[in-house]
Structure 1
Amino acid sequence: MRFKPVPPAPEAFEYVTRVQRAVPLVPGTEDDCCARLVGRLDLSDRDAARTWLTFLRALELAEETPSGYRRTDAEPTVEGCREAFLTRVFAADAVRDALASEGPLAVDAAFEAVRERVPRWERHRDAEWTAVWRERVGRLLDWLVLLEAAERGDDDPSRYRLT
């Protein structure tokens, strides 16, 4: 299963640990978990919390049980999260592969490199799908940097390259 929601990458990886610790150990409903995340973190609303909750599932740091959501026992590490990110987050591997094959890329060029991977139904669902997916690709690139799979260019920080 591949997950699509991707929150903006935080400034430091330690924030991922902080978000995971805000998820309860004892399963709770999605609404309860989202309220808890909003209350314990600097998240703007429940939609942002829901995005983080789903993203933590992709990173295998939270799980959905029959009783609700709970955090897993997995300790967040850059290496572990990078592996889960590349295998479980939709298009993360495609963005990384675009960097590998086409060299340093800006967000728009990275989007163009993976444009064909956007599901057809997503293109028909929203007339502004290209703007939505450009933002998503930008977030994927920022996560690749945070997870030490890519870096921003020294001479041009708007371009990303593999590390």
Structure 2
Amino acid sequence: MRFKPVPPAPGEFAFVARVQRAVPLVPGTEDDCCARLVDRLDLSDRDAARTWLTFLRALDLAEETPSGYRRTDAEPTVEGCRAALLDRVFAADAVHDALAAAGPLTADATFEAVRERVPTWERHRDTEWTAVWRERVERLLDWLVLLDAVERVEDNPDRYRLT
């Protein structure tokens, strides 16, 4: 299963562990978990919390049970999160592969390289789909930087390359 929601990458990896710790050990409803994330992490709203909750599921740091959501026992590591991101977050592998094939690239050039991976139904659902997916690619690039899979080019920080 591939997950789509990707929150903005935090400034430091330690925030991922903080988010995971905010998810309860004892399963709770989505509403309860989102309220808890908003309260403990000062997130803007429940939608931001829901995005984080789903993203943690993609990283194997939270899970949905019949009783609700709970955090897993997995310790968040850069290596583990990088592997999960590339394996379980939709289009993360395509972004990585685009940089491997043609990097260094700007975020816009990376979007153009992965544009065909955007599902047809997404293109028909939103007339502004290109803006939505450009932002998604930018977020994936920021996560790949945070997880040491990609780096910004030193003399041109608008370009990314594999590390």
Fold in common (TM above 0.5): yes
Report the Cα offset of residue 143 of structure 1.
Answer: 0.3
Matched residue, 1:90: 90
The one-letter amino acid of 1:123's match is R
Q: Pairwise CA RMSD of aligned residues?
A: 0.3
- For 2:132 and 2:43, how far apart are their aligned partners in 1? 20
Matched residue, 1:107: 107
Matched residue, 1:133: 133
The one-letter amino acid of 2:159's match is R
Matched residue, 1:119: 119
Superposed, which structure 2 residues align to 1:35-50 within 5 Å?
35-50=35-50
Matched residue, 2:150: 150
The one-letter amino acid of 2:24's match is P
Q: TM-score, normalised by structure 2?
A: 1.00
Q: Deviations over 1:6-56 (max 9, x none)?
A: 000000000000000000000000000000000000210000000000000
- For 1:75 and 1:39, how far apart are their aligned partners in 2? 22
- For 1:42 and 1:77, how far apart are their aligned partners in 2? 23
- For 1:123 and 1:103, how far apart are their aligned partners in 2? 26
Report the Cα offset of residue 103 of structure 1.
Answer: 1.2
Report the Cα offset of residue 124 of structure 1.
Answer: 0.1
The one-letter amino acid of 1:138's match is E
- For 2:87 and 2:40, how far apart are their aligned partners in 1? 29
- For 1:56 and 1:75, how far apart are their aligned partners in 2? 12
1:43 aligned counterpart, secondary structure: coil
Question: What residue ranges of structure 2 are gaps of 5+ in the alignment?
Answer: none
Q: TM-score, normalised by structure 1?
A: 1.00
- For 2:103 and 2:81, how far apart are their aligned partners in 1? 24
Moved beyond 4 Å, runs of 4+: none
The one-letter amino acid of 1:26's match is V
- For 1:9 and 1:121, how far apart are their aligned partners in 2? 26
The one-letter amino acid of 2:139's match is R
Question: What residue ranges of structure 1 are gaps of 5+ in the alignment?
Answer: none
- For 1:42 and 1:27, how far apart are their aligned partners in 2? 21
